[in-house]
Each structure stands twice: as structure tokens, then as C-alpha cells.
Structure 1
Amino acid sequence: MQYPNTITLLVSGRYALFSDPITRVGGEKCSYPVPTYQALKGILESVYWKPTFIWVSTDVRILNRIETQSKGIRPINYSNGKNDLSIYTYLSDVAYQVRAHFEWNEHRPDLAQDRNENKHYAIAKRMLERGGRRDIFLGTRECQGYVEPCTFGEGPGAYDNTPSVPLGLMLHGLTYADETTTGTMQERFWYPVMENGIIHFCRPEECPVVRDIRKQSAKHFILNETLQGCDDLYQEVFSE
């Protein structure tokens, strides 16, 4: 299904680390072979975001071969404040085509006056052309990324003729308090399958495995006081 406020973007970078939470228990990190729904949501929010809406990624196309590179890292040991030694396994030379759209956050009725789809869509496309409103990171802070507009499906991909590849149980994303009525922060898991280099994401509410993390309360905003209105932001962006 094609949504009227859909954007397609090329995401690329030298390294990426979409860390598997299972490997982080011992202080080391190992990347999933493909980006998670939550990682792409974070990239889209770095391009342009307001609490009025929620970015929904529908598809991601893997352009380059999945290759990893391990590095010795010396993070801080929080028990004694000294440097520790860990091995981080990164994805190298990554490139993805992403198709996404935004939907109104129905759990934020206090921001209903900011729901102007055409202006938010115009600002999002303008920010994408500029490479994002904020810095782009591919999973972690040390993995700098770059975004630009693209046509989804255009150009060759490393897995275009590859049959179905099940990727097993994988983190889908996090559900925050302002996106649900439960008042609980949750983590979601699903079973992705890559077909001809493309992964079709299920919606957050369709994830088969959901686990509660902790209680959480949503932050409250006051339009034009603690949150800039859409009309003012539109004038600011397009007057530059």
C-alpha cells in the first residue's frame, strides 16, 4: 500500500552497528546483519521529527553485501571507572533504500492543532534533501551515516535474485509511553524474512513477541511554548 506522505531515502555509511541485545550482556556488541525497524525510525527522526507524528518504515532494501568487521574497543568499565577491553563487530560499507511514511500520534491529543500533513511532508522532504535536520547515526554514535532522496528499487542490489532468507528472532523496536495507552515502555521482537534483498516490516502492533520493560510516563508539550508550531517551523525552513 502506497501512502500519500511516503518518502524514500538512501541510507549509507562506512560502518553500522545495529546491536543484538543478547550480545551486550558481557559488554561486547555484535551487529544484526540488517537494520532494525527501530534503527530506521531513529534515522527518520534525525531527518525530521515532531511528537505530533510517528514514522513508520514499511520496507528496506539491502544494496551491498552483508560483511562484518571486528574491532577492539576500550570502553569505560562502570564498576571501577577504568578502561575495559571489548570486541565490537560492525557491518562495513552499508547501503540501504528505505520506504517510510508518517502517521499522527493519536495518543497525543494535546498536539492535534499541529496536524498539518502537507506542511510536515514538505518539511520532511526539504530536510531529506539537506541530509537531515540532525546528524545521522547507523545504530551507534561512532557510526556516522548519510541520507539522500532516492527511488526505491532503482539500481542493482547484492541480493536481488536471492530467495527467501529467514533471519530468525530479531528486535523490532521499542514502544514508548507516548505511543501507547499502557503507560509502559515495551520492547518488541519479530521474525523477519528477506526476499530478493527486501524486508517488509510488520507494524509495531503486529509483533508476535512483546515484553514490558518498565513503567513510563509521557512528556507533555504545550504548542508554541514548549513545542514550535508547524506553521512557524515551515516559515523558518523555507525562508533559509
Structure 2
Amino acid sequence: MVKPEFPKSASGAPPVVVQVWGDAALFTRPELKVERVSYPVMTPSAAVGVLEAIYWKPQFQWKVVAIEVLNPIRQFTQRRNETTDLASLTDAVSGTRRLDTVANRVQRNAVCLRDVAYRIHAHVIPRPGVDKPEAAFRDQFRRRVTRGSCFSQPYLGVREFSAFFGDPDDQPADVDLNEKLGLMLHSVDHSTTPPSFTWFNAEIVNGVVTVRDEDVVSGAA
């Protein structure tokens, strides 16, 4: 089987690749406010979260260009305890307020994914004014993946669903997966009030979700 080719960076380099997997995942659809329902596949924002957990520097940002879906999509439901008492960023930094999770606890149903595995393809995009070559960041990332090093444990949408990661293998994408998913969350910018969202028209073709710049649009959740 011929392996798919993915977009190269502006310098002509191929994307770096990491394989991630886990027992469960929950990539929450932000437009559903009460019950948590997962997208059927990993979102680019969740993929960036995994990449940053493995390797992050302020000198660059990650740009996901493709996500290969390696396992069939399987769902299960779970009832989860959550709290409606959330601390502001100021309170969290100062530690002046304790959260009353007992008085503000709610139970919510969640539709999650079971036995997931993905191959993430992404580019390192150096920020303006950074002199360090792009290749140096890529090489450091690859070494960390091979060693199993990470700044924090990656997770698949929510922190209780830990992600394992390693070098990519030859497991093919699930070519039987072909589906138009419509608008999917691309990224969330928390520097604005309220947070701003970007979306993209997602489609699974032969088990691969390709993230193209021309498909990304802005809008509220």
C-alpha cells in the first residue's frame, strides 16, 4: 500500500511524526454545553496539546497538517463528576480561594471514544525573530519521542485519559473510514475575552484527516 504524502513546510521539510494511543479519549464538542460528546476523531487542538506536552519552547509553535486514524471508531458512555465552581486565573495563581467541589458537584454523561490510536503529522513554525533553525527543533522533538521524554503526561482530550506515545510504526490508517465531519474545532485562543475559536471543514478520507489552511474559518462556539 502506498503511504500518503503530507504537505511540506515552507523550508521544504516533511512534517515530524509521532504515534499516540490510549484506552479512551474525549475530544469534547464545544457547542454542546451540558452533556459532553466527543468528536469521532482527534481534533488539531488536541493534537497540539499532545505535541506541546512532549516538547514546547516559546521560540516556535506547532502546526498540525494531518492526523491518521489507526483504529476503528468505537464509542462508550460514561457518567462523570464535574464541578461548576471554577477558579479565575488570578485566584489560581495566588491560591487564595479554595474550590468547593462537594457543594458544586454535578454529574454529566459523556460519549467517549474507546481504544484509540493516531499518527500526528505536524510542522515546527519558528516565531518571528528566532534565529535557531527549524531543523534543530525537529531533531530535538524526534529525540524526545524516541526516549519517551515529555514535560507533562500527554492526554487525549481530558486529563484522566492519558496518552502513550512513541516513534511511528507501519500500522496503516483505517482505510475504511471515509466520512464528512462538517465543522470541527481547530484551535482556541485563550488570550481574548471571551476565548476565540477557529474551525475547519473536516473530512476523513481513507482514515486520514488533512488540515488545510484554506479550510480554516473563525467564529464563536
Q: Aligned to 1:20, what secondary structure does the other structure show? A: coil
- Identify the residue that residue 145 of structure 1 maps to in structure 2: 163
Does 1:199 find its partner at 2:199? no
Correspondences of 1:79-118 after superposition (within 5 Å): 81-106=103-128, 109=129, 112-113=130-131, 115-118=132-135
- Cα 1:39–1:132, aligned 2, differ >3 Å: closer, same or farther? farther
Matched to 1:155, the amino acid is: Q
TM value normalised by structure 2? 0.79
Correspondences of 1:1-240 after superposition (within 5 Å): 1-3=7-9, 4=13, 6-23=15-32, 25-26=33-34, 28-78=35-85, 81-106=103-128, 109=129, 112-113=130-131, 115-133=132-150, 134-151=152-169, 154-157=170-173, 159-162=174-177, 164-175=178-189, 186-203=196-213, 206-211=214-219
1:116 CA displacement: 3.3
1:208 CA displacement: 4.7
- Cα 1:195–1:5, aligned 2, differ >3 Å: closer, same or farther? closer
- Identify the residue that residue 217 of structure 1 maps to in structure 2: none
Q: Deviations over 1:58-92 (max 9, x none)?
A: 11111111111111112224398332211111111
- Cα 1:53–1:183, aligned 2, differ >3 Å: closer, same or farther? farther
User: How many residues were matched structurally?
Assistant: 196
Asked if the contact 2:68–2:118 (Cα under 8 Å) also holds between the matched residues in 1, the reply is yes
1:145 CA displacement: 0.3
Matched to 1:52, the amino acid is: Q
Q: Aligned to 1:22, what secondary structure does the other structure show? A: coil
Stretch deviating more after TM superposition (55-64 or 129-138): 129-138
Specify which structure has the higher proportion of strand: 2
Matched to 2:18, the amino acid is: L
> 1:212, 1:195 → 2: CA distance?
27
> 1:207, 1:173 → 2: CA distance?
13
The higher-RCO structure (CA 8 Å, 6+ apart) is 2
Could you tell me which runs of 5 or more consecutive residues in structure 2 were left unpaired when the two chains were aligned: 1-6, 87-99
Root-mean-square deviation (Å): 2.5
TM value normalised by structure 1? 0.73
Specify which structure has the higher proportion of helix: 1
Q: Deviations over 1:155-205 (max 9, x none)?
A: 233x3144x41001211112465xxxx9995311121111111111023xx
